[in-house]
Amino acid sequence: MSELPEDRGLVSPVADADERVIESALRPKTLDDFIGQSRVREQLSLVLQSALRRGRAPDHVLMSGGPGLGKTTLALIIAAELGAPLRISSGPAIERAGDLAAVLSTLQEGEVLFLDEIHRMARPAEEMLYVAMEDFRVDVMVGKGPGATAIPLDIAPFTLVGATTRAGLLPAPLRDRFGFVAHMDFYEPPELERILHRSAGLLGVGLPAEAAAEIARRSRGTPRIANRLLRRVRDYAEVRAGGEVTRELTRAALALYEVDDEGLDRLDRAVLGALMRKFGGGPVGLSTLAVSVGEEPETVEVVAEPFLVRAGLLARTPRGRVATPAAWEHMGLTPPPDAMFPGNTLFDQSVINDTAGGGMEDR
């Protein structure tokens, strides 16, 4: 089979849709099939079994954690375990209280409503949700100005499943109305290997243990990334090796897709490279760092930084972002004599002085 050109980087809408179908097919359908998050699974199982025995809708569920850890999958599983219909929406889609009222008023009894990124919901809708969650009622405003009247409208008992990547942005009144709050942790490599073997079976890909370990090690503790890398390895194997996956082929495929031995991708290395080569390792503000790599500050803060901080390659300080000794080593660079990083006396004293003086970094 001839090799495909290296520059085929554009993805058609049809191909993108196929990827979503494949990703959906890889999702586990029951709690028993769900790998990892053992404590959350056990707690959630008790909540659901108790509700089924009582013949009532279970308490509202809030799940927090980074992207790709299984929050949407668990929402689908909750509906399946209850044998209930599932309605899916998201916080950004609910811009007005009327948008939420339209959704709530059409819910069936026992239906599960999944709101992704619930922390981004508009404040008026959020306040309406308080009453809906607690009393299964919405107050619809009729008229404007002094003559406006609130008409209470009863809604069917339902279960709200909220998901958020930033639990700290949720107001306390909303958070307190959830009967069960679960925090999703990052996965350990052995758990990711189990997920990869399951996914490989569904995709019809022969995946040796050493190849699975290679992918798991580079997946940043995230099943979504692990499955995405598995599909790219499969593509590489089909085009260049007749479909046979080996450890060496896996390493070659991941190198082609710019995923290094520690799971850093192009953006991660660009951020670290700019921080070291252009700013001597920092400290440097987020906005300045983002401009230097041609990205929006939010992209750097939300996409790259969480993993870099968790991997011990980046530190966030009152004065800005700082590369750690491990980052210099990983990038194969030598820090300048006056480089500041955690553990360095100059750095530690600078942080103390900035904190005492209320110094804030440039965003």
What CATH number corresponds to the domain at position 232? Answer: 1.10.8.60
Q: Are residues 191 and 55 in the same domain?
A: no
- Residues 37-47: tens digit of each pLDDT: 989 999 999 99
pLDDT at 11 over 60: no
For 40, counting Cβ atoms within 10 Å of its Cβ (0-12 exposed, 13-18 middle, 19+ buried), the class is: buried
Residue 161 is encoded by which pair of tokens?
A: 């499943």
The residue whose two tokens read 């809906």 is 132
Active site includes 246?
A: no
Q: Which of 133, 156, 183 is the last residue of a domain?
A: 183
278 in active site: no
Q: Which of 71, 220, 234, 321 is catalytic?
A: 71
* Of 260 and 3, the one with more pLDDT: 260
pLDDT at residue 359 in the model: 46
Q: Does one domain contain both 36 and 102? A: yes
In this prediction, residue 350 carries a pLDDT of 46
**Given 183, 218, 245, which residue is the final one in a domain?**
183
Of the ranges 71-75, 137-141, 143-147, the best mean pLDDT one: 71-75
What are 303's two structure tokens? Answer: 């996409």
Annotated active-site residue in 73, 159, 164, 165: 165
- Claim to verify: residue 197 and residue 173 sit in the same structural domain: no
Q: What is the pLDDT of residues 26-66, one digit of tens each?
A: 788 888 889 889 899 999 999 999 988 888 888 899 999 88
In this structure, the answer to whether residues 284 and 252 fall within a common structural domain is no
pLDDT beyond 50 at 12: no
Assigned domain for 10 exists: no
The one catalytic residue in 27, 41, 72, 159 is: 72
CATH code of 60's domain: 3.40.50.300
Q: Does 127 lie in the same domain as 109?
A: yes
Count of structural domains within the chain: 3
Active-site choice (224, 228, 234, 321): 224
**What percent of the chain clears pLDDT 90, i.e. is strictly above it?**
25
For residue 77, the number of C-alpha atoms closer than 13 Å in the C-beta half-sphere is 21
Which residue in 96, 97, 90, 88 sits closest to 119, CA to CA? 90
Residue 35's SS3 state is: coil
Say if pTM beats, i.e. exceeds, 0.75: yes
Q: Is residue 80 located within the same domain as residue 130? A: yes
Residue 296 lies in a domain: yes
Q: Are residues 46 and 168 in the same domain?
A: yes
Are residues 78 and 129 both part of a single domain? yes
345 part of the active site: no
Q: Per the residue annotation, which of 27, 41, 73, 116 is the catalytic one?
A: 116
- Which residue, 138, 153, 183, sits at the end of a domain? 183
- pLDDT at residue 145, rounded to an integer: 56
Q: Which domain holds residue 132?
A: 16-183
Q: Is residue 363 part of a domain?
A: no
Question: pLDDT (tens digit, 9 = 90+) per residue, 310-342?
Answer: 888 898 888 889 988 988 888 888 887 766 666
Nearest one of 325, 214, 225 to 272, comparing CA atoms? 325
DSSP string, 194-243: HHHHHHHHHHT----HHHHHHHHHTSTT-HHHHHHHHHHHHHHHHHHSTT
- State whether 28 and 137 are in the same domain: yes
Q: Is 224 tagged catalytic?
A: yes
* pLDDT grade for 228, boundaries at 50, 70 and 90: very high
